[in-house]
Structure 1
């Protein structure tokens, strides 16, 4: 009989099972609760380690789940991701970070985290994603970094890591993205990276300090690599042919290196390739003629040595938007097929040897935005349909042999911003709508055969109107008064007649006015009060009459004046003489009277020729001498006989005395001749001799002086003028000054940059030192900014905001070059407005390196024996510990930015503090920035940009050096601001475009340093 189990018998078994499940659930809940509590405690310790920053105020011990905090992501209730991007962290990473045992994702990019690579991250055994980019890490990337075996993403870019890229990175087999860009890596590039079989993106660009290295052929084995950016990384040699085996490649950027040889043919056969940048190398040969990379959208091969023709096959790239081939040696015609590419927006081929006519279909099939064909040998007409779709922004076709009229369609092209067609054979009238195009800022049509008259109306956005060497005629219209933003007006060498209209004198931003070689008549305008920015005025070779108005001498910025070859009469105003213009030409006129003594200088030797009514008091200018004392001749005749008798007596008496001291005179003469032996050390090719310099130094030529000597302006032939700095003759300071001068010579003779003053030569002898520099017409920045004690040359002048921003960018470029591109880096130590010099176009050049110091090791702090610099510009850590690194220059440059935006002097924020402290205090108490800006530059269209640059100045003057940006970051922000200004874009997204400014905190308190810090 079969035995059955009753329901009562089953009950104990079910109960036991339920009890077991309950115990399992309770145990898991207990473990979950324990893990939660542990992680919560770790997170609160992290907050404490970071010194309780305000952005973590919501991290509290309350019962709210930390998995809801925005910096945290959880999986199954456990922390797996920690993200703190651009939060102004200045402390090291917490060493107990890996107590979050399930952490897979760590992202601390765009902070100010110092120290070496945190090797305690090796304890994060599950870590897959690590981003420490854009911080202040130093030292080497560890050789045992392969301990992070699970990493699929690693970004260490934008730091100060140095040394080798470790071969151990090649053992991170799971790695899909590797980013080592913008570091100071100065060792080898390991072939082992070619072992990363899963790698999809590789960024190793902008490592300026990498030694020259060939592109490892092992990289061509990375068959999964899609993005490869290795520009500015000291690559040399040829591009490996096997790079064509990287079939997955989508983006390749090897620009700004020193690659040579030919472009591999297989590179253009990569069917997934969409971006190819090989610009600024030394590549030669022809562009591959067979092209099957049909996904290409961006192709930039500019600034190489490529030759031959532009391949017809490029016209098969139907997705191509951007084609840049400029500055090569390409020849032949432009293929017709390229003009019919439907996606093409930018066609850039200037500076080549291209010829023939331009395909007429350009612009007809695609929304063309940029068309740059300048500096070639093109003939025929410009394509008629360049602006067919209304998108054309820039047209540059200068230096060709183009003929015919400008396309009529340009007259209705409202998108056009720049038109440059100088030096061609273009003719006819200008399309009428072009003069009033709403977005057009530059019209440069010099050296053509255009005819017609200027219109009665212009659009006010024009900043450059350059129409010289054409056949324009008629009067200058009254409508020029609408050109309120014009900076350069060049209408020389035309057929303009009539008088200079008074409306032309109402242009407030005009810096250059060239109306020479026309048929203008009548007097010079006298009511020119609006020309506050005018620097150059050339009215020569006309038929102007009347006198030189006193108002011209009162123009605050005027530096070049040419009124020659006219019919101007009267005397030379004394105030004009006091301005000491760099270039003055009043020759071939009807001027009369005495030349002011201030102008009796060899620098003006050709300024007064062919004025029969002028005379001078000396023979310096080789003009007729003035006879200001009619009785002088009679008095001299009457006393001549007495003088002869007295002379004979004196001569007899002195003869014996002179013979007694003859030997002493000979001895002294020989000694003086030895002292006069000058030695010239040249750093450039010179067009003058040491005799030219030494013989021309006089008190009349002194243009400045300071603690290190007087500065002279000396006229030379080809360079017009040079500036000569001479050491003071105080023996007490001799050692210090000589040392300082030699430091300046050592640094400047090895530095070549457009924004650093050019040292031409050094002239020395036993008791003197001379440094000869290029001469900069607009002197130093402080003379333009200071409200008091201005020299006459700039008194009353106003620097508008675009000029100030341009000056800031130029100075920043010079300092950025010193800090990041010089090896070893150079720290200036005395950055200030008086050491920023300006040329005629207000390009800034950093000067006076007498205090500069070469840093032998960029990762270490050098210590100076004594503090040198200028009060108001000295960083606090430098003043208290004499520690020197690049951040002291950043502090000083921040003060310069504050001066540019507020108009205040560096050492006078108010009666209680210097400018940097004053600015910080206003930020901390919440002052509206607009209320403290310089009244002279307050314009609604620039206000937000000026406020942003003021804030940048405050960031640069942070008390903690680690909280200050680098000069590279400062320059990036300034350039972004300039691009917004140039493109006329609104600034609503300015903060968003610059992570350094976005969400910046201003709570830094003043801290004091000791030598033990």
Structure 2
């Protein structure tokens, strides 16, 4: 009996122990990170998972299927086979927006299971390893962000199969190798960012086939070679960033279109050489141009400012630009022009907005040495302005300069006397010849300058081209002081360059200070007379009420006054004079021009303004008479003028 009672007690104790083991409360895992908690709910929303698998009002670690936690943190996510809502099936996304880290590599199965995925955003997720080639199977993928991770290896060529892709961002990783040419087949791609990696070799020409591309960033890699001309096919491009690479050579002339949608161009810190394509300065929407730290060498174009151009930032420091600071800089609100070889004075529109150090500019601190500037310009066959007019010197150098000036004055006076005697001799011979053949006197009293009579209309079609005021503004850079040649008695003379590239001289006649008859008389003269020894009139512009413009052919050698003695580049600041053969050639040319006016025009014409500055010289030092606004006709009243009496003509 006792034994049976003991056995019963033992059985009761066994069952109680079993029940205690079966119903022992377990320690539940709970998510302790609020950042990971938020990230999981965003992932739930982006994937469109149903509440049956990931219910809303419970802790993910304890109740969400496929979520594995350890020590209060997520270390595994498995959503394979989960059913999604209707919205989730139509627009599947895997975006965590950097709210928690996903350490490790992207599994190869990723590209074989999520075939309907359209957006993959894994930015700043601490991902390592290589990009699996299976990602090329995600044919519906339109956006791929893998930036700011630690991805290594090469960019898989299979990405060229993602034909729906509009955004590809692999920036800020450790990727190596070359850029796959197959990326050029992504016709819908709008953003391509491969910056801040270790990519090598050249830019594939196939990238020029990306018709829809808006943003191209290949900066901060180790790319080398030339920029392919095929990139000119990127007609919708707004942002081109190729800085901080090892690109070399000349930029293709046709790389940039006109008109262009480009707003940002960054080519800094490469090894580009030669000239910058001129069309780049005329891109109206450009707001950033950075070509610093290269080897570009050219002069700035002298374009007029663009009224509709955006205020832009310019950085061309660390190159070999030279020449003057032109009006093309007027559109830039901030400029870095340092470490170049610009010379001359600094225009007002540049002062206060630019860094100008280490150049060859006048009256600016921290410039290059005289030897450096003279050497640079001399290597290119150009003369340097020696930082402006030289300062007064004393001692021996001052004495040498005085002797040079004295020699120049005496030589000039001698030349003028020789020219005067020669002209008198020619006039005497020709006048006698005309008297013997025509029986009339050529030296008549000059009438006052009068405009053409109202009944005698000027044939403007014979006076060259008809220019618009806007064409002349563009040719002269808004008639700036940089292009001013001199203030003449009949108008201001400006140097300009037409759209065709032809250099010209443009006279601006201000009718508020100069009589209207002045320019009308000159037009009437060119309407009636023409000769090889007269400066050619190329056209005119008469559309403004108070300003009239006459356009002449440009004379490369200026006038006789400036050509008699030219300043040469030397340590002694010497002057170089014209040789006597050239002087004789100029004297004969001037005589022929005056002889035409006096003896071959009917009625004869008196120039009335013959001086060294009105004798113009072309590129071969052939004479062209200028300053023709004071010419007048000789009245046929039988009275002899002073020259006739001096020569004692019959």
Tell me the TM-score normalized by structure 1: 0.30
Please identify the structure whose Cα radius of gyration is greater.
Answer: 2
Tell me the TM-score normalized by structure 2: 0.45
